[in-house]
């Protein structure tokens, strides 16, 4: 039995279905794999970061999926303060991702998507009625999150260029 109340959203898809899909996505990125014989779990996000073909490309993909989760939360009417917390989680993940090694380690421990879904869960269990997200806020927060991710990738490329020019 789901712990979410079946709320209706502006689309025909109930909020519970949307939230469950977002949980699966966050799980895939943050916790879908385990190290045998340990309780340590990780997902595709750190793997994408380690295997990025071009510098920062894996982090960009992971950040873009994280931005999608933030976008969906904003569309569901999650309060602006909570959405800003979610953006901060993505920002921390993206900024620390600029630092080789440390960024990869953070991907194994920070789990921004899982943190963001916990924020969504907190709001949905507190709120009994769904709110309609302000369309301007939804678009603005989405663009800001995408710019953060792309900006961090650009800074990574500049850093690599500077290192090779030394």
Going by C-beta distance under 8 Å and a sequence separation of 6 or more, which residues neighbour residue 99? none
Q: How far apart are CA 117 and CA 6, in angstroms?
A: 17
Between 115 and 134, name the one with better pLDDT: 115
Compute CA 93 distance to the chain's CA centroid, rounded to the nearest angstrom. 9
Give, for 154, the enclosing helix (H) or strand (E).
Answer: helix 135-165
Mind listing the pLDDT tens digit for each residue in 37-82?
Answer: 998 899 888 887 777 655 556 777 788 888 899 999 988 888 999 9
- In the chain, what are the domain boundaries? 15-165
Task: Indicate if the pLDDT at residue 8 is higher than 50.
Answer: no
Beta pairing, strands 33-34 & 41-42: antiparallel
Asked if the model's pLDDT at residue 2 lies above 60, the reply is no
- pTM for the whole structure: 0.74
Which pair of tokens denotes residue 111? 């789990």
For 13, other C-beta atoms within 10 Å of its C-beta total: 11
Tell me what the mean pLDDT of segment 81-108 comes to: 84
14-35 pLDDT, tens per residue?
678 889 999 999 999 999 999 8
Spatial distance between the Cα atoms of 32 and 50, rounded to a whole number of angstroms: 16
């Amino acid at each position: 039995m789901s712990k979410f109340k079946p709320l209706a959203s502006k689309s025909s898809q109930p909020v519970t279905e949307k939230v469950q899909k977002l949980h699966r996505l966050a799980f895939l990125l943050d916790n879908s794999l385990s190290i045998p014989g340990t309780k340590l779990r990780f997902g595709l996000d750190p793997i994408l970061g380690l295997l990025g073909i071009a510098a920062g490309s894996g982090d960009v993909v992971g950040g873009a999926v994280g931005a999608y989760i933030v976008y969906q939360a904003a569309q569901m009417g999650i309060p602006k303060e909570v959405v800003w917390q979610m953006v901060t989680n993505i920002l921390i993940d993206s900024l620390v991702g600029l630092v080789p090694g440390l960024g990869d380690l953070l991907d194994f421990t920070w789990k921004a998507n899982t943190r963001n879904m916990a924020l969504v869960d907190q709001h949905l269990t507190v709120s009994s009625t769904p709110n309609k997200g302000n369309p301007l806020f939804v678009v603005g927060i989405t663009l800001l999150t995408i710019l953060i991710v792309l900006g961090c990738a650009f800074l990574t490329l500049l850093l690599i260029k500077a290192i090779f020019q030394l």
